[in-house]
Amino acid sequence: MTRDLELTITAGTAALAATLTLPDAGPDAVAGRAPAVLLLPSLLPRDRDGNFDTVRHPGWFAPAGADDPGILARLAVALAGRGVASLRYDKRGCGLSEGTWEEAGLFTLIDDARDALGVLRGHDAVDATRIGLVGHGEGATLAMSVAAADPAVGPLTVIAAPARGWRDVLRRGVAERARSRLVQPAQPTDNHPFVRAWDRGLEELIERADRGEAQMRLPVRVDARPTLGLALWEQLFRVQTGALATLQQRSVTVVHGDADAWVDPAEADLLIGILRDRGAPARVVVRGAGHDLDEAPPTLFRDLAADLRARLQPRRMPTVLLSLESPPSVPG
């Protein structure tokens, strides 16, 4: 049986609530330690399972259905079934995590991911030489940023990852959702007041961020006009995930739903072209699936878990990490 352990990640002055999912000890465990993967969520306020956050942001999003466990929770279960541990956490200011999502900048989110990776790497049940990352949407940008500076990180799987800058990607997403409403007025995203407000206010957000303004109010509901810090978006607009892809010294699998209305599926083509110069990336197209892969069958997640497990091979760890893993003995 799998085991879920509730952990706390110290991330600067904030404590992030996390779940470590452990598999049964199997033949892949080395000295009782399993390979492991850090799971990083997508855009906007998200909980550890990958769903929109309704705990710290009530009224912003429709609650997830009982039959919708969330993309990262589905991955965690599938990975455990393959003997791989995984760690996932509520984003800063979401779920049970401390901090404020509205004020977090990109570099703070990258640091949060690094702190989570440190917790995963240091757990007694985890083999620190066999660690991978899965990034979904915005999480793909975080995963590539973390991996580019950490040679001990093994394989990457990026889901709904952009290749171009987030300014263009977000604009295309708003346009695609607008086109979809012309064909079918009642879209699933319309159940989320924040997404409707986001689509109306994106151009103003971009203009204000480009002018270097610090914040803006976004009218989500009549009784809710949250103030969004613009540092995250100004920083994301400068980042080209495709450029981060050129820095990867590891295997990468690119996964994209062909009905994604947030990150155009054409981004996967561009990303594959960039990664091809660095090796032989694998590509998985999920027919009929949107950004969160809600429509994907369980077999997809089992296949993704099997792919990751096959690529989780031991990597040489830098001396500083080895010293943390095996502290020197002190003479008696």
CATH 3.30.1330.60, domain 3-164+241-325, yes or no: no
pLDDT at 145: 97
And the tokens for 142?
Answer: 């975080």
And the tokens for 287?
Answer: 């027919």
pLDDT at 112: 98
- Residue 99 pLDDT exceeds 70: yes
Mean pLDDT for the stretch of residues 256-284? 92
- Residue 300 pLDDT exceeds 80: yes
Q: Are 136 and 160 in contact (CB under 8 A)?
A: yes
Mean pLDDT for the stretch of residues 54-74? 90
- Residue 332 pLDDT exceeds 60: no
- Residue 132's closest CA among 305, 324, 320, 325? 305
70: left (phi over 0), alpha (psi -120 to 50) or beta: left
pLDDT band at 224 (very low <50, low <70, confident <90, very high): confident
pLDDT band at 134 (very low <50, low <70, confident <90, very high): very high
pLDDT band at 321 (very low <50, low <70, confident <90, very high): low
Mean pLDDT for the stretch of residues 257-282? 92
- Residue 328 pLDDT exceeds 50: no
Mean pLDDT for the stretch of residues 191-210? 95
Where in the chain are the domains? 3-164+241-325
Return the percentage of the chain with pLDDT > 70, whole number: 91
pLDDT at 223: 84
Mean pLDDT for the stretch of residues 187-196? 81
Question: Could you tell me the end-to-end alpha-carbon distance of the chain, in angstroms, rounded to an integer?
Answer: 41
Q: How far is CA 195 from the centre of its chain?
A: 19
For residue 266, the tally of other CB atoms under 10 A from its CB is 13
Mean pLDDT for the stretch of residues 280-307? 95
pLDDT tens for residues 1-17?
Answer: 689 999 999 999 999 99
- The DSSP bridge pattern shows strands 282-286 and 252-257 to be parallel
- Residue 54 pLDDT exceeds 80: yes
- Residue 326 pLDDT exceeds 50: no
pLDDT at 80: 97
**Cα dihedral across residues 195, 201, 205, 206: positive or negative:** positive
pLDDT at 1: 67
d(CA 147, CA 82): 23
- Residue 225 pLDDT exceeds 80: yes
Rg of the chain on CA atoms, in Å: 19
Which string of DSSP letters, residue by residue, matches 158-215?
EES--SSBHHHHHHHHHHHHHHHHHH-SS-GGGG-HHHHHHHHHHHHHHHHHHTT--E
Instruction: Report the b/e string of 32-65 with b at 16+ CB within 10 A.
Output: ebbbbbbbbbbbbbbbbbbbbbbebbeebbeebe
d(CA 263, CA 273): 17
Q: 19-28, 71-80, 210-219, 323-332: which has the minimum mean pLDDT?
A: 323-332
Q: Are 228 and 216 in contact (CB under 8 A)?
A: yes
Q: How many CA atoms does the CB half-sphere of 74 hold within 13 Å? A: 22
And the tokens for 105?
Answer: 């900048």
pLDDT at 27: 59
More confident site: 141 or 318:
141
Mean pLDDT for the stretch of residues 199-211? 97
- Residue 309's closest CA among 2, 16, 68, 84? 84
- The DSSP bridge pattern shows strands 227-229 and 215-217 to be antiparallel
Q: What angle do CA 312, 316, 322 make, to 5 degrees?
A: 115
Q: How far is CA 308 from the centre of its chain?
A: 16
Tokens 């991978």 locate to 132
